[in-house]
A and B are shown apart, each in its own frame.
Chain A
Amino acid sequence: MSFFEPTAPRPARQQPPWYGPPEDVLGSPVPIKRILARSETVVVALTDIVAYPSGCQFSLQLAARRGTLSDDQWRDLRELVFGERWPAECDEMLRCGVQFADGTKATNVDSRPIWDTPESYAPAPPVFIEAGGGGGEAGDNQLRSSRGFWLWPLPPPEPFTFAVEWSGAGVELTMTEVDGAAIVTASQAAEPFWPAPS
C-alpha cells in the first residue's frame, strides 16, 4: 500500500473578481483623461480608464515639482508621491473613490488588501482597491508616480463621482464627474485572451 495518496490535479488558481483586473483579458480603453487636482507643487491626474467585463481600472498619475520647497518638505512629498509614508500617517495618503447616483460609495480607504483577508472573504460590491500601477520617475526637481485602482463591478451606465483627497500634499477633496455609460460600453469590446472551452 502506498503511503502517499494519488494526487488530484489542483484547480487553477482563480483571482477573485474584486481583487483586480483579470490577467487574461485585453481591456478596452475609455477616452477619459482629466486633471483631477492641481496645486503649486502637485498634480493628480486621471490618465485613462480601461474597462473589462468584470470592472474597470483607473490609472492615476501623481506628479510633483519642487519649486521653493525645502529639502525636508521635498523629502516628505516624495514619500507621499511614492506611497512610502509611515502607516500611522495614512490620513495624509492619497485617498480616492467613487460615489454612484444612488449614494453608494467605495473608496481605497475602505478596501482591504487580499493579504489581509481570509480565503473565504467576499466583500460586498462595490469595491475600489489599489491594483496595478507602479513605476515612476524621481528627478532632482520633479517626481512622477503611476497608481492604479480597480473598481468592481462595473459602475451603473450613468454619471458618477470620482473623489480624490490628498491632505498630505495639500489637495482638498475634489469631485469629478465620470461617464459610467462610456465605461460600460467600452467593456463590451474587451476580449478574453483564450477562447472559451467548447
Chain B
Amino acid sequence: MNALGTAVPLQRFLVRTDSLVVALTSVVAYPSGCQFGFRVAARASALDRADHRQLRAAFLGDYSDLSEPRPPDGPFRCGIRLADGTKVSSVDDPPFWDPTSPMRPEGPVLVEFSSLGTHIEADGMWCGPGYWLWPLPPPEPFALVVDWPAAAIPQTEVELDGAAIVAAGGAAESLWPDDAHRD
C-alpha cells in the first residue's frame, strides 16, 4: 500500500451504559478502502460478580468457567449495511483473494485487521477490535452495525457518512509519488 490514510472524524459511542462502552474510535480512509477502530470497555466497579465473570469470559474467548445455562459465545461482531441493502459482516467467510491477480472479489469485504488485543485488569477490561472494509462505501449514508451476544451487547447500529469517507479516501497522499501504485 503506497498511501497515507486520512483520519475521518466520525468517532462516537455506540453503546454507553454505567458499566460498558462500545466506541468507534477511528475511521481511516485510503483510496481502496477504510479501517474502523473500536474500543470495547467495561469497568469492574459497576458489575456484579456474575456479569463480570460473563464479560471476562467473552473478552478472553474462554467460556469454560460459566455456569449452565451458558450465554451465547462468539466474538464481537461488526457489519455494514449499504443503502441498497448490501450487507457484509466480520463473521462472513472472506472470499478468496489472490493479491497477485488483477481479479478482485465482487465486494464488499469486511475483515478483522489491526486489532489492539485484550487487556484485563483489576478495575476493568478493554479490547480494541479493528476492521478493514474493501472497497470504499458509496458516497451516501450507510449503517455500521455491532453486537456481541457473549458480552450481552445487543445489536446496535449508527449511520455513518459515506461521502465523508470517500472524500477522505480521495485525499490520501502517496508515500512515494514516484511509485505509480497508489493504493
**Chain A interface (Cβ within 8 Å of chain B)?**
10, 12-13, 23-24, 26-29, 31, 33, 35, 38, 43, 45, 47-48, 61, 63, 65, 134-135, 137, 142, 144, 191, 193-195
A23 nearest in chain B by CB position: B126
Checking A12, A13, A27 against B11 with a beta-carbon cut-off of 8 angstroms, the contacting residue is A27
Contacts of A144 in B (CB 8 A): 1
B45 within 8 A of A: yes
Contact in complex: B122, A29 (CB < 8 Å): no
A28 to B25, alpha carbons, bound, how many Å? Answer: 9
Measured CA separation A142–B99 after assembly (Å): 15
B44 to chain A, nearest CB (A): 9
Q: Tell me how far the C-beta of A31 lies from the nearest C-beta in chain B, rounded to whole angstroms.
A: 7
The answer to whether the Cβ of B77 comes within 8 Å of any Cβ in the partner chain is no
Q: Are A33 and B7 in contact (CB under 8 A)?
A: yes
Q: Are B176 and A43 in contact (CB under 8 A)?
A: yes
B123 at interface by CB-CB < 8 Å: yes
Q: Are A12 and B5 in contact (CB under 8 A)?
A: no
A-B pairs, top 8 by smallest CB distance, nearest first, are: A48-B7, A12-B123, A193-B21, A43-B175, A29-B9, A26-B23, A45-B4, A63-B175
Query: A29, A47, A134, A142: which contacts B5 (Cβ < 8 A)?
Result: A47
- Of the candidates B4, B25, B46, B176, the one whose C-beta lies within 8 Å of that of A47 is B4
Cβ-defined partner of B25 (8 Å) among A27, A31, A142, A195: A27
- Consensus secondary structure, chain A interface: strand
Our count of residue pairs bridging A and B at CB distance below 8 angstroms stands at 68
Q: Are B43 and A194 in contact (CB under 8 A)?
A: yes
- The residues in B between 5 and 41 inclusive whose CB is less than 8 angstroms from any CB of A are 5-7, 9, 11-13, 16, 18, 21, 23, 25-26, 28, 39, 41
Contacts of B45 in A (CB 8 A): 12
- Separation of A137 and B132 alpha carbons in the complex (Å): 14
- Shortest CB-to-CB span from B6 to chain A, Å, is 6
Are B13 and A47 touching (Cβ within 8 A)? no
Q: How many whole Å from B124's CB to the nearest CB in chain A?
A: 8
B1, B4, B12: residue with the most chain A Cβ atoms closer than 10 Å? B4
B83 → A minimal CB distance (Å): 25
| Beta-carbon nearest neighbor of A63 in chain B | B175
Cβ–Cβ < 8 Å partners of A35 in chain B:
4, 173, 175
Q: What's the Cα separation between A135 and B46 when bound, in Å?
A: 32
Q: Which residues of A contact B18 (CB under 8 A)?
A: 194-195
Cβ A38 vs Cβ B176 within 8 A: yes
Are A33 and B4 touching (Cβ within 8 A)?
yes
Question: Whole-angstrom distance from the CB of A58 to the nearest CB of chain B?
Answer: 12
Q: Does B114 contact A (CB under 8 A)?
A: yes
> Knowing A23-B41, A24-B43, A38-B176 touch, does A47 contact B16 (C-beta < 8 A)?
no
